[in-house]
Structure 1
Amino acid sequence: MNEVAAEWQEAVRRFGGLLGRLRSEAGLTVRELAAAMGVAPATVSKMENGGHARPQDFYVIRQWVTACAPRVDGRGGSFPIPVELGWWRDEHGQLERLHEELQLLPLRSELAGPVAAAVGSGREHDADSVSFEVMHQKAVDHLADRSPHVRMAGLRTLGDLGDKYHERRQRIVDELCDYLRIPPDPSDAGEGQVRRTAQMVLAARLRPERGDGTTAKNSVFWPDTDVDLKRAFLCDAYFNGCEFRRADFDEAQFEGETYFDGARFVGEARFVGAVFLGCEVSFRRARFETVSWFRWVAFHGYTYFQGTHFGSNAEFSRSQFSDDVFFDHMTVRNHAWYTHAVFHGSVTFQHVQADGATFWLNSFRAGADFRGARFASPPKVARCEAVGEAERHWPDNWVELTARDARGVADSWPVGWSAVVEEAHAAEIRAGWNSRS
């Protein structure tokens, strides 16, 4: 206990010192930084001096780094500490883990007595079961605590229990998902960090870290795991490199950054009705081995499906993309469906490979680029609209019919609108207009 406490005190002082050096290198006074972050000057001083008994929520560190980083870059000095947010996130995570280890020590020592006695009596199996149930109940009780730090400790304990008791892993995953489905309490300032901890505990167990080989290198990887996060509330979700047996994210709400880069979905993957509210959502190089559903999804930020593999159909019908979306180098073994989809930003399908694709009643409100796309059969398009004068590159058999093509017919499209149709259909439409003129 004393060793961990001493290590914690040294770590929190070191982290505060790093923050102080960052502020100093940025040329900001304590009062100037406090004003930029919207906190009291005393809070800044206390953090720099390592005076906090618990780690500050990461969003405070994010504000600190965001306020200082541009000034550090602009001054052009040789600052020895990275100013990238990812580096500070890792450092802050280590601090949190150390603090939670310190908090859980009394619980572990309390359990050591009865468990040791039971094992000594020769009933190892019964003792093991009792050990799990006692520690599991303690961890679950922690999840109802008012303190966010106690809840985070309980979540980490659940992860530790699954590492030891392999047959209970799916049960623990279900409990972590249950927690993430509970609507967040807006009055709880630490709720966001607790949810990030639950996601981190879960993602760390789903990430095999296979590298170039097929063997999982992560010693705490939990294979063959189903994840049910239907209607969950997720905040800064980092599931990059994770492997799911079956994944249900229907109607889930993703806030902040969302990353599934390199993830693998062995079974069905569902995102029907999901909402991505952050500035960026990425499925780069993800693999959907079987059926996947992205129907009725709202993407509010930049969206990346570059290099993504779909082993069956790719279903994006009735989805809305509020910003630019990139499907470059995506592969679809069967059919890609984009019916009733709306692209408010530019969309690129460069070098896509698919057996076939259907675009019906879609709206392209900015640029569209299909250069280098390859389809086993020509992609079908009908009753789609293209809005504005942005540069667009359609597949070979697609044609834009503009208001000028209508030759003054009364029911032609507004100025700046075009209909996107197949080339053969375009000839029929022009012939019909000519007969009416």
Structure 2
Amino acid sequence: MALIVSDRRTLIVGLGATGLSCVRHCHALGRQLAVADSRAQPPGLAEVRENWPEVDVVTGAFDPEWFGSFDELIVSPGVSLDEPAITAAAEAGVRISGDLDLFREAVDAPLVAITGSNGKSTVTTLLGEMVAEAGVNAAVGGNLGTPALDLVAPDVALYILEVSSFQLERTTDLKAEVATVLNVSDDHMDRYPDRMSYFQAKHRIFQGARNAVVNLDDPLSQPLLNEGMVPHFFGLFRVDLGVFSTREDETGLWLTQGLANLMHARELGVAGMHNIANVLAALALGHAAGLAMAPMLAAARRFRGLAHRSQTIRQHDGVLWVNDSKATNVGATQAAIESLAPSDGELVLIAGGDAKGADLSPLVSAIAGRVRHLVLMGQDAPALEEALGAGAASTRVSTMEEAVTVAAGKARPGDRVLLSPACSSLDQYSGYEARGEAFVRAVEAL
């Protein structure tokens, strides 16, 4: 990227992976640059000081007067826009934006943008594999994996980005070639004043989009279509002209497009109806982006899912152990329970952590008749026990090792033990990956 000297004074608020990508990008543009982070030792601090020693980095409490002296604040997704220093800067006329605005200014290639409460990482990854199979030079990342700005390159023909509500709420106009909100359920209620605010943040993904992919099974995924926006649809058992869907016959379950069968569900390497819905979503997105069907189906047949997302760990004493640590909200756990409950047994569910203020009641109907025993851990174990205790017997534990031991004692042959927490992991772990890895270690030690 060529150096373009600029007098645009930019403050990057929040380090971490996204903040670092913004530092790299803005420094290459020649902007007058500074960084602020409320943490004393934020991740990425050493890298900034080593590689860009001329960039001022201020840690600790945010200073509203200093924030107001910049032309623009690039606010990382982990920092709330309700921070007093940020709201004061906005009132003073400072532009507030995020990494996606910088990304949109930097690239001309078409963008497929994917968000949703659940399944977005799986769909983003699968679509990336479909595009690779089709021979298209695509860059895949965003909220998943490599930050958007670190993907920017002149030879990229298509960008595929997972984007979060936090990124979208500070984005002006994404102008995606294809955009989707896969689904909407309660999440991040500790960061939003109400459900409508969360819903509105998600739907900013459709601003300027040319094609919208809509989940017919979730009315909250449907945008108010802008003039000229072309809709594409997917949904389970929604066979209709043009819709990516499923149907059953005497041979079992088929994935369909319109009235035509595409592939049998048994050809897929992922389990559960929620994963079949993810495959349908990826097919609809790829179709909207102009991909041929044959390479998309070939990629779908090979896809084995992502770690910590309905990931089969082992069979032990007739019990199947499944790691769904990525289920950090109620909707994800509800989908996992409903999709993964065995036909010849029941589930033992390990759940708990930080519920982020979510309404836990939708889990009540999900566990009824499917969950033999609840093993609850983390700071909101009492809240889960109170909300769900009438639906299944429960045991509270302190550690993952204890949770696995209790679950092994409660499970019977034919059952599945499912780690699907419905909560964030940050009360006990560095992230859902660490929580899932702790589960896998404990299961392998049985």
Normalised by the length of structure 2, the TM-score is 0.33
Higher share of residues assigned helix: 1
Normalised by the length of structure 1, the TM-score is 0.33
Return the index of the structure with the highest Cα Rg. Answer: 1
